Amino acid sequence: MNYAWMETPIGRLLLISDDNGLRRIDFANGNSRPDAAWHDNPAALKETIGQLGAYFASELKEFDVPLAPEGTQFQKNVWRCLCEIPYGETISYGELARHVGNPKASRAVGLANGANPIPIIIPCHRVIGSDGKLTGYGGGLSVKETLLSLEAQGRAR
């Protein structure tokens, strides 16, 4: 595994990849630490760092780095559907459950959304409550709000 730290407008991120692609993005909220067996290798994550930098500068709306998240088949299906939510738009958990093909699975979809190991690039921040309110986010609600505001400004360009 390779890792690199990245400073962003939402704080420090820990990026983790292997030969298959990007495995995780962790918010550096005090709990994120690289495993001792991993290699500090920013060069291996150069493309991801570049695309995230362009995203935060509102110059990139769609990522195309290779992804290799680990999860169940259901989780991977939810994460694939998350990637289909257009930049700057939001949907509810119920809508996401319909996209996944199981309209009654909004609770399970919410759990899969919360287990997303590659936030930002797999845009789980674009899922909100059915009442339009922001709901939980691994990086905190202020980070979710910042990402949605960034995308709203980027859409206006």
Kindly compute the dihedral angle of the four CA atoms of residues 11, 9, 5, 124, in this order, to the nearest 10 degrees: 80
Which positions are catalytic? 124
User: How many CA within 13 A on the CB side of residue 111?
Assistant: 6
Q: Which residues, 6+ apart, have CB-to-CB distance to 141 below 8 Å?
A: 134
User: Dihedral of CA 27/33/50/110: which sign?
Assistant: negative
